[in-house]
Amino acid sequence: METRVVPVPTRNPLGRFSDDAGKGGLARLDEWRINRDDNDNGTALAALEPAAEYLRASDTPVAFPTETVYGLGADATRSGSVRGIYAAKGRPSDNPLIVHVADLRMLRALLRHGDRGAHGEEHNNNSNENGVDDDVIPARYKPLLERFWPGPLTILLPNPTPSPLAPEVTAGLPTFGVRMPSSQLALTLIKLAGVPLAAPSANASTKPSPTAARHVLDDLDGRIELILDGGACDVGVESTVVDGLCDPPVVLRPGGVGMDELRSCPGWEGVVKAYKDQSEEGNNKAAPRAPGMKYKHYSPKARVVLYEASCGEGGAGVTAADAEDAAARLTSNGDATSQTNGHPFRRVGVIRTKRWKPAAGIRCDDLRLEEDHAEAQPQAETPYSVYTGGLKDEQGSIVGQVFDISLGTDTRKIAHGLFWALRELDRRGADTIFVDGIDDELDIAAAVMNRLRKAASETRA
Ligand code: TXA
Ligand code: MG
């Protein structure tokens, strides 16, 4: 199978949400209307229309950008197409998928399907004649949706019976996860397809999630036919998954919306965390509530050593012992034979955030900016750079290479670049990656640290 990467330029708004009634609140999200009048949208729509057609007809999924990460989408109502996702990713089939809708109409049609049979006929208002709220969306979720949709928040809803969703979407659970992405490209693609799209992150199972089309190609080349390239993802980590059907409501996966932001919504003051940060590999004691959280995740090939924000020594950078160890260690393919003409075979990556100085205390030559800029920054919009220097041993001989990436000190920017940095260091053959952890109390920081703890083979606390 040949994989095509199709650029989808989105300079102008591809559409907008209707608010004809001016009702405000959730009514704002009733319908996503595609803007066909703007000539500048012609090229984007010319790429999206055949992709939408392909999604309806084919059992091979299509990769597309969302504001969080790239998704691997398929028609959520057809078993064949949903199975295509699991096949392309190599994903275990007991891990359910998130359903993506373009607007509330699509969501309500899906939820009413159980009562109304085949095509879930439309209800346009939120109240019946008695003014009683008969909305199929549980009241608990409304303050959240008003504030965070469209955006990086996934909610669990009861799967209706009969359900229009293919059983493979929910992996046997009585609930399904759903979100309305804020990416215009994603909303427009879903609208054109006319069906909800099931979409996990478009990485090969266990790899860091893709935040650029290039990452999807690296993982899935030859396994899918189409990658829609909408540039780098804004948020950079996946959506927050919440369950408001239980009491107290819980966060099943931290993501783009922080716990503190959830708490500020009525009915969510007592929200609790129901996820574990450490990799749960080999721990079968309790079935995790979000099945996906039990698998090895977000892992580059390299050994990741994470310095927690609480780690006092970490403030100064990589410890002397860790630095020595890195200088002495061979890369995974680094037996003596791979050292030709003094060619470096020890490759050490450093991902800096709020505390560390360049090279973080690892003995090396002066760091220089990578000359090959195009390669260094596959996400053109991402203002990060890779600096390199020679790695030195105790005697001062060059024994390898250091790659230094700073993600800056702003938490949103750290989240935006995190998966890119892990992938970039993998691509350069890093054997060990040292990461400066951040305080995970507020905002998107919890998602950053959750992903890093899962990627880490070792943690310094
Ligand atoms: O930002 C995102 O959420 C991205 C983009 C593409 O939208 N999608 C994504 O999907 O991250 P995925 O499949 O990689 O992660 C879905 C997570 C998993 O942890 C899964 O177990 C959980 O959501 N999940 C989905 N449906 C669920 C359900 N019914 N009950 C509990 N957890 C569920
Ligand atoms: Mg994923």
- Dump pLDDT digits (tens) for 168-205: 999 989 999 999 999 999 999 999 999 999 999 999 98
C-alpha 97 – ligand 1 centre gap (Å): 5
Is ligand 1 within 6 A of the CB of residue 293? yes
C-alpha 159 – ligand 2 centre gap (Å): 21
Is ligand 1 within 6 A of the CB of residue 292? yes
Q: Note the pLDDT of residue 371.
A: 62
Judge whether 155 and 99 are in contact, CB under 8 Å.
no
Question: Alpha carbon of 153 to those of 141, 220, 232, 284, 337: distances in Å?
Answer: 11, 26, 19, 28, 50
- Short-list 424, 2, 455, 1, CA closest to 214: 424
Q: Which atom of ligand 1 is nearest to the CA of 177?
A: 26
C-alpha 220 – ligand 1 centre gap (Å): 19
C-alpha 209 – ligand 2 centre gap (Å): 6
Ligand nearest to the CA of 97: 1
Q: Note the pLDDT of residue 20.
A: 64
Is ligand 1 within 6 A of the CB of residue 241? yes
- Pick the range with the lowest mean pLDDT from 125-129, 171-175, 243-247, 387-391: 125-129
Task: For 8-45, write each residue's pLDDT tens digit.
Answer: 998 889 999 987 666 678 999 999 999 998 888 899 99
Q: Whose CA is nearest to atom 33 of ligand 1?
A: 290
Query: What sign has the CA pseudo-torsion 293, 102, 44, 75?
Result: positive
Judge whether 418 and 236 are in contact, CB under 8 Å.
yes
Task: For 278-304, write each residue's pLDDT tens digit.
Answer: 754 434 444 455 555 545 567 778 899
Residue that wins the pLDDT comparison between 120 and 43: 43
- Pick the range with the lowest mean pLDDT from 23-27, 102-106, 232-236, 444-448: 23-27
- Give the mean model confidence (pLDDT) for residues 126-141: 68
Task: For 261-282, write each residue's pLDDT tens digit.
Answer: 999 999 999 999 999 887 544 3
Residue that wins the pLDDT comparison between 127 and 449: 449
pLDDT at residue 340 greater than cutoff 60: no
Share of the chain above pLDDT 90, in %: 70
Q: Average pLDDT of the chain?
A: 87
Ligand nearest to the CA of 280: 1
Is ligand 1 within 6 A of the CB of residue 68? yes
C-alpha 204 – ligand 2 centre gap (Å): 9
Is ligand 1 within 6 A of the CB of residue 163? no
Please list the alpha-helical segments (H only) found in 65-118.
79-89, 104-116
Ligand nearest to the CA of 419: 2
Q: Note the pLDDT of residue 36.
A: 92
- Give the mean model confidence (pLDDT) for residues 415-440: 94
Residue 141's CB is within 10 A of a number of other CB atoms, namely: 23
Place of tokens 């608990």: 140
C-alpha 56 – ligand 1 centre gap (Å): 22
C-alpha 153 – ligand 2 centre gap (Å): 14
Place of tokens 């998966």: 419
Tell me which amino acid residue 179 is: R
- Pick the range with the lowest mean pLDDT from 104-108, 125-129, 277-281, 307-311: 125-129
Q: Note the pLDDT of residue 337.
A: 41
pLDDT at residue 124 greater than cutoff 50: no
Q: Whose CA is nearest to atom 17 of ligand 1?
A: 292
- Give the mean model confidence (pLDDT) for residues 127-131: 45
Q: 128: pLDDT confidence band, cut at 50, 70 and 90? A: very low
Q: 338: pLDDT confidence band, cut at 50, 70 and 90? A: very low
Place of tokens 């630095």: 323
Q: Whose CA is nearest to atom 29 of ligand 1?
A: 176
Q: 377: pLDDT confidence band, cut at 50, 70 and 90? A: very low
Q: Which atom of ligand 1 is nearest to the CA of 202?
A: 6
C-alpha 297 – ligand 2 centre gap (Å): 8
The first and second tokens of residue 151, run together, are 């955006």
Judge whether 280 and 288 are in contact, CB under 8 Å.
yes
For residues 210 and 232, give the distance between their C-alpha atoms in angstroms, rounded to a whole number: 9
C-alpha 96 – ligand 1 centre gap (Å): 7
Q: 335: pLDDT confidence band, cut at 50, 70 and 90? A: very low
Q: Note the pLDDT of residue 129.
A: 46
C-alpha 298 – ligand 2 centre gap (Å): 8
pLDDT at residue 428 greater than cutoff 70: yes
pLDDT at residue 92 greater than cutoff 90: no
62, 69, 98, best to mutate for ligand 1 pocket (most atoms within 8 Å of CB): 98
Q: Which atom of ligand 1 is nearest to the CA of 100?
A: 7
Is ligand 1 within 6 A of the CB of residue 159? no
Q: Note the pLDDT of residue 282.
A: 39
pLDDT at residue 436 greater than cutoff 60: yes
Is ligand 1 within 6 A of the CB of residue 154? yes
Q: Note the pLDDT of residue 118.
A: 43
What does pTM read for this prediction?
Answer: 0.91
For residues 362 and 365, give the distance between their C-alpha atoms in angstroms, rounded to a whole number: 10
The DSSP 8-state label assigned to residue 145 in this structure reads H
Is ligand 1 within 6 A of the CB of residue 411? no
pLDDT at residue 154 greater than cutoff 90: yes
- Give the mean model confidence (pLDDT) for residues 407-426: 95
Burial class (CB in 10 A: 0-12, 13-18, 19+), 49: middle
- Give the mean model confidence (pLDDT) for residues 305-329: 91
Question: Alpha carbon of 453 to those of 109, 184, 280, 289, 447: distances in Å?
Answer: 39, 32, 11, 19, 10
Ligand nearest to the CA of 177: 1
Q: Note the pLDDT of residue 104.
A: 96
- Give the mean model confidence (pLDDT) for residues 136-143: 95
Is ligand 1 within 6 A of the CB of residue 66? yes
